[in-house]
Amino acid sequence: MKLLHPMPTLLDERAGLIAGFTATVVLSILMIAKNSAGLLPQLDPIADIAHLARLPEGTIQALWFGWIGHFALGTIIWGTLYAAIHADLPGLPVVRGLIFGVLAWLAMMIVFMPMAGHGLFALSLGLPAMMATLVLHLVYGAVLGMTYARAAHE
């Protein structure tokens, strides 16, 4: 199985960026709603991004950096990566997006969460935080897959 297709013919970067941005907006709305409801206050990826940059906690600079980092990851990194591999994922666009969402969640659990000090699979935050991030990534992935298909005219 070939993992990447030649860029000029099958990679639609524009569609990847549009889909990544759209999915990140939806994910962000859900994160803000979670915070507003007081659910899982220990789960704060925005603060974790700022913490990794060694910015003082609770400052406006940390907040801005966290959100910009969140959008850069969701839009540029994940959106472009999805554009590069979506054709190799099985199923309809929503299924492809869900698969990608799980892969992005695994990356978060194996790389980002330990770097942020929460341990592998965010075990220090508890099972509810781990499951909440999975649900959020599934929503992100579903929106990503459907939006990409529409933006790429698939």
- The secondary structure element, H or E, covering residue 104 is helix 93-107
Check pLDDT > 90 for residue 2.
no
Share above pLDDT 70 across residues of the chain, in percent, rounded to a whole number = 94
pLDDT, tens digit (0-9, with 9 covering 90-100), for 96-150 = 999 999 999 999 999 999 999 999 999 999 999 999 999 999 999 999 999 999 9
Report if pTM > 0.85. Answer: yes
- Output the pLDDT for position 11: 74
What distance separates the 2 farthest-apart alpha carbons in the chain? 47
Query: What would the mean pLDDT of 37-59 be, rounded to a whole number?
Result: 93
- Burial grade of 98 (CB within 10 A; 0-12, 13-18, 19 or more): buried
The larger pLDDT score, comparing residue 74 to residue 11, is at 74
Is residue 120 within 8 A of residue 67, CB to CB? The reply is no
Q: Rounded to whole angstroms, how far apart are CA atoms 20 and 82? A: 8
